[in-house]
Amino acid sequence: MKVLWIYAHPEPRSLTGSLRDEGLRALTELGHQYRQSDLYAMHWNPVVDRSDYGLDAASRLLVAGESEVAYDSRRLSPDILAEQEKIEWADVLVLQFPLWWYGMPAILKGWVDRVFVKGFGYGLTRDDGRVRRYGEGKLAGKRGLAAITIGGRQSTFGPRGINGELEQVLFPLLHGTFWYTGLSALPPFVVHGSDRAGAPEFERAAKELRARLETLGTDEPIPYRPQNGGDYDEDLVLKPEFSGGHTGLAVHNLRTSQPG
Amino acid sequence: MKVLWIYAHPEPRSLTGSLRDEGLRALTELGHQYRQSDLYAMHWNPVVDRSDYGLDAASRLLVAGESEVAYDSRRLSPDILAEQEKIEWADVLVLQFPLWWYGMPAILKGWVDRVFVKGFGYGLTRDDGRVRRYGEGKLAGKRGLAAITIGGRQSTFGPRGINGELEQVLFPLLHGTFWYTGLSALPPFVVHGSDRAGAPEFERAAKELRARLETLGTDEPIPYRPQNGGDYDEDLVLKPEFSGGHTGLAVHNLRTSQPG
C-alpha cells in the first residue's frame, strides 16, 4: 500500500516524533511505500488567504467559490497542489499529532483548511444532483488513521470521562473530515499519558503502533452511516426509526446507535 | 462590561466581517467597552514553536513544561503576552469565526494553542492538590461566547442532523477550552446558511446578534458540571448515578444529562 504520513509536532525528539520514526520504519519493513508531510519541517503555512487562490487584493474573497475556481483552473498555490497530489497518490492517510485543546495543532488544522478546497474536499455532486459527502467524496476508497498522543489519562476519555468520550471529541476529524471527504475512518491509534511517558511506555506504544500498521489495510473502519443510503431524510436528518428516537453523535455510527 | 472580541475571517467584506462591525457598534451603544483581536489583520502567527518560549535550538522542546517556565518568568513571546493581558482585562471573550471543517479556522485554533499556555490556560492546582480545571481555572468568573457563521442548513446540525448536534460538535471549544479554563460557556450565537445569505438574511442575523449582546451579562451559561464538585470520581469519571448509566458527551451537561 501507499501511505501518506502527515506529522505535526514541533520537536522531533518528542514521544510523538519517536513514534513517527518507528511508524515509518515499520511501513518500510511491511513492504509499504510511504511519503511524508512533516508540517513543522516544511514550515507549512496553515492560514487560508486570498493568495491561496491567486486572487487580487481588490476582489472580495468568497472562500468556497474562489477555492473551486482556483482548483478547476489549476491556479491553487503550489504548496496546496503538492499536498493534493500526495493524497491522490496514497491509499491511506495517517494524521499524527499531539492532542492540543481537544483537537489538532493549528498547523495541521490549517493543512486541512487549505488543502481540502471546494472541488477536492467538498462540493461535488452526483449525476442525480445529490451532494457527494459522508462516504461518497473524492477520497472514497482510501482510509484515514488518526495517530494521537494525549497527555491525559485514558479514564478521562472513556464513556463518562470528564474530557468526553474520545471518539465523540474527535467527531469533527473522524466523521466531519475523514468520512465527509470519503475516507474510511479507522479507529484512532492513541497513546495516553504521553507527558509522563518514559522508555518502557515508549516501547509499549511503539509495539502497539507496529501492530496497528500491520493491519492498516484490513482493520474495520468506524461504521458511520452514508449520507445517501436511505438513513437520512431530505433535510439530512437521521430518520428516527434508525436510532430508536435517540439523539447525539452516537446515532451516526452504526456500532453505537441504538435502533428502535 | 469589558469585551475582548477575537475575530478570524480573511475577508472584512464577508457576512462574518459585517457581523463583526455590527457587533462592535452594538457593544458601544450598549455602553460596554471593547478591545479587538482581528487575527487576520494582525497577521497572527498560529504555530506553537520554541521561539514562543525563548528556547534555544539545542534544547529539547517540551511544550507544556517550557511554556510554564516562560510564563512564570515573563519570557513568553510579546504577541502572546499582549493577548493574555487583553484576556485578563476582559469580562467576556467573544470568539467569532466561520465554521471550517467543524471547527475553528487554523489562525484561531493557533490563538488558543499559543495563548493558553501552562500556568495560564491549564496546569493550575489548588491548595488541596486538586487540579483547577472545568469551572475552576484562572479565567473563572469570565464568560465565553462563540459567534459562528455556518454554510450548512440548521437541520443538519440538529439532534439527529448528519453533521452532528452543534453543541456536541463544538464540545472541544465550549467544554474543552472555555469551561476547562474557567470561562462560563454561553450558548453559541449561530448564523446558518451563510453561503447563501443576502441582504434580508444579514439584517435578520444582525438583529439577532444585537439581541444576544444585550443579554451578554445575564444569559444563562451552558450548565457543564464542575470537575471538583463531587460528580466525578478520583479517575475523573462521572459517577454512573448522575447520568442514569448513560454515556456520551451529553452527560457532562446538566441540561442534557438524564439522571437515573
- Chain B residues with beta carbon closer than 8 angstroms to that of A163: 176, 236
For residue B260, the model assigns a pLDDT of 62
pLDDT by residue (tens digit) across B24-34? 999 999 999 99
pLDDT by residue (tens digit) across B164-177? 999 999 999 999 99
Three-class secondary structure assignment of B213-238: HHCCCCCCCCCECCCCCCCECCCCEE
Decide: A93 and A183 in contact? Cβ < 8 Å.
yes
By C-alpha distance, which of B94, B131, B55, B134 is closest to B216? Answer: B94
Task: Report how far residue B38's alpha carbon sits from residue B6's, in angstroms, rounded to the nearest whole number.
Answer: 6
Distance of CA B175 to the CA centre of its chain: 8
Task: Report how far residue A161's alpha carbon sits from residue B232's, in angstroms, rounded to the nearest whole number.
Answer: 8
For residue A50, the model assigns a pLDDT of 97
Q: What is the mean pLDDT of residues B158-185?
A: 98
Residue pointed to by grid coordinates 436528518? A237
Task: Report how far residue A121's alpha carbon sits from residue B101's, in angstroms, rounded to the nearest whole number.
Answer: 10
Whether residues A155 and B237 touch (CB distance < 8 A) is answered with yes
How would residue A260 be classed by pLDDT, with cut points 50, 70 and 90? low
Which of B107, B112, B237 is closest, CB to CB, to A101? Answer: B112
Q: Which residues contact B235 (CB under 8 A, 6 or more apart)?
A: A153, A155, A156, A161
Whether residues B251 and A160 touch (CB distance < 8 A) is answered with yes
Task: Report how far residue B206's alpha carbon sits from residue B212's, in angstroms, rounded to the nearest whole number.
Answer: 10
pLDDT by residue (tens digit) across A170-219? 999 999 999 999 999 999 999 998 888 888 999 999 999 999 999 999 99
Whether residues B63 and A232 touch (CB distance < 8 A) is answered with no
pLDDT by residue (tens digit) across A69-116? 999 999 999 999 999 999 999 999 999 999 999 999 999 999 999 999
Whether residues B10 and A112 touch (CB distance < 8 A) is answered with no
**Beta strands of chain A (E only): which ranges?**
2-7, 33-38, 92-98, 143-149, 184-185, 189-191
Higher-pLDDT residue of A260 and A166 is A166
For residue B35, the model assigns a pLDDT of 98
Length of chain A as a residue count: 260
Q: Rounded mean pLDDT of chain B?
A: 96
By C-alpha distance, which of A197, A221, A112, A14 is closest to B49? Answer: A14
Q: What is the mean pLDDT of residues B227-246?
A: 93
Task: Report how far residue A80's alpha carbon sits from residue A29's, in angstroms, rounded to the nearest whole number.
Answer: 30
In angstroms, the separation between the Cα of residue A164 and the nearest Cα of chain B is: 6
How would residue A38 be classed by pLDDT, with cut points 50, 70 and 90? very high
Q: Which residue of B has its CA nearest to A227?
A: B162
How would residue B245 be classed by pLDDT, with cut points 50, 70 and 90? confident
Which of A109, A134, A238 is closest, CB to CB, to B109? Answer: A109
Q: What is the mean pLDDT of residues B116-128?
A: 95
In angstroms, the separation between the Cα of residue B200 and the nearest Cα of chain A is: 19
Decide: B103 and B144 in contact? Cβ < 8 Å.
no
Residue pointed to by grid coordinates 518500510? A28
Q: How many CB pairs under 8 A join A and B?
A: 213
By C-alpha distance, which of B12, B28, B63 is closest to B214? Answer: B28
ipTM over 0.95: yes
Report CA torsion sign: B80, B168, B22, B10: positive
Phi, psi for A79 (deg, rounded to 5): -65, -30
Q: Which residue of B has its CA nearest to A109?
A: B106
DSSP state of A221: P
Which of A63, A103, A232 is closest, CB to CB, to B162? Answer: A232
Q: What is the mean pLDDT of residues B6-24?
A: 97
Whether residues B100 and A46 touch (CB distance < 8 A) is answered with no
DSSP state of B161: B
- Chain B residues with beta carbon closer than 8 angstroms to that of A42: none
Whether residues B110 and A46 touch (CB distance < 8 A) is answered with yes
